[in-house]
Structure 1
Amino acid sequence: MNELLKKSIQFSISIAVITFVLAAIFAIISNIVLNEVTWGIGIFVVLIIVLIGIFFDMLGIASTAADETPFHAMAAKKVHGAKYSIRIVRNADRFASFCNDVIGDISGIISGTAMAVVLIQLTVDFGLDKSSVIEYSLSVFMTSLIAALTVGGKGFGKSIAIRYSKDIIFQVGKVLQFVEDKFRIVIIKDTKVKKKKKNTRLTENN
């Protein structure tokens, strides 16, 4: 129980640190981009941020919905990406937490902040009074539109993720396998290998 609590705390702290760093990076990049473009392109940037959140939310749901059994048969045939797909499913809780809570929530926050910047640009370009009814109505409409697109998009993405979880995770597995093979970057560790090593050490000590 203490070991489980310790691991949970360590994971929570690591996720918090990663979220802080990624949120800062997202905020800096989005502000730099939005300050250099017109409001039309700014809206396009906001939509891209929303789509990123929807996409990663879909990946997180797919990881929790997928079953690792089909991937074992594929791994036995040495299909590229199958073994990594198993890793994703086995670590679905952490993978989903990163995709849904970290990237998904950051995208939601940043899209709101980015939309505020776009609204300021619109107000300046069209010479609107900041306290006018038109400016207020435009602000409410744009904010509501982004919220509707985010929630509606995530709802659609979840249905796709649940229905095609195996295919989605397999494609992600292939990408992550390529990254590990090509750049030697281990994104998700193989917990089974870890357990085997631990059991071997215990056997040797006994």
Structure 2
Amino acid sequence: MGYKRKSWKHILFVFLLSFTLAVVAGLGTEILMRKTNIFIALILLLVIIIINIGFDVIGIAATAATEKPHHAKAANRVPGARQTVFLVRHADTVANFANDIVGDVTGALSGGMSASIVLEMLQTYPGLGSHEIWIDTLMIALVASVTVTGKAVGKTFAIQKADEIMGRVGFVIARLEELTGWTFTDKRRKGGKQSGDPRKD
């Protein structure tokens, strides 16, 4: 029963987080798309694709990284090292957030944005109306190919530089914790031990 309750809580959390991110990001991009020209819209689309690829790299790096190189840095109080150990120890959660939640949301956004760009192009240049199906198909194919190629290149980079990537992510999170005063990576059990079992190197 405890496992089922935990599973349902996790599923509900993932659903609500995905829904919230999709609504916020969707509204934001839709408003920007309506108030910008085609060139700016294309830049926004590229940014969304880069975010998608970037988080995919982080998710893969989290599963490929090991704790050992970061423990010594954490002992020496290197900024971000403790956060990196936490992230690597919870690699499954990091990968789920980066690859599944952020990846799927940005993927859906890029698809919607490409459709909006095509519609804007047809409204701006009515003469292209007779080629709508080809323009739409080429836009979708271009977005898909850029995303897939970027992820393929990023996967190799993530595996080869996993510890370095996670170290940088940990450093960024450490700075965010300092700025906001919130602690995202210091969940502890009774007795002061960090939650989660250590990853085997």
Q: What is the aligned-residue RMSD (CA, Å)?
A: 1.5
**3-state secondary structure, aligned to 1:196:** coil
TM-score with structure 2 setting the length: 0.91
Once the two structures are aligned, what percentage of the paired residues are identical?
Answer: 32
Residue 8 of structure 1 corresponds to which residue in structure 2?
7
TM-score with structure 1 setting the length: 0.89
Residue 114 of structure 1 corresponds to which residue in structure 2?
113
Residues 7 and 99 of structure 1: CA distance in aligned 2, closer, same or farther (over 3 Å): same
Residue 92 of structure 2 corresponds to which residue in structure 1?
93
Matches within 5 A, 1:39-188: 39-128=38-127, 130=129, 132=130, 134-188=131-185
Separation in 2, partners of 1:173, 1:129: 48
Separation in 2, partners of 1:69, 1:4: 30
Q: Is the 8 A contact 1:59 1:169 kept in 2?
A: yes
Separation in 2, partners of 1:60, 1:67: 13
Unaligned runs of 5+ residues in structure 1 are 199-206
Unaligned runs of 5+ residues in structure 2 are 194-201
In the TM superposition, what whole-angstrom CA distance separates every residue of 1:53-102 from its partner, at most 9, and x where no partner exists? 10011111111110001111111111111111000011111111111111
Deviates more, 1:139-148 or 1:73-82: 73-82
When the two structures are aligned, how many residues end up with a matched partner?
A: 193
**3-state secondary structure, aligned to 1:61:** helix
Residue 22 of structure 1 corresponds to which residue in structure 2?
21
**Matched AA of 2:3:** L
Separation in 2, partners of 1:121, 1:182: 40
Separation in 2, partners of 1:83, 1:197: 14
Separation in 2, partners of 1:96, 1:188: 15
Q: Shift in Å at residue 103 of structure 1? A: 0.7
Separation in 2, partners of 1:123, 1:101: 33
Bigger radius of gyration: 1
**Matched AA of 1:162:** I
Structure 1 segments, 4+ long, off by >6 Å, are none
**Matched AA of 1:167:** E
**Matched AA of 2:99:** N
Q: 1:194 aligns with which of 179, 182, 189?
A: 189
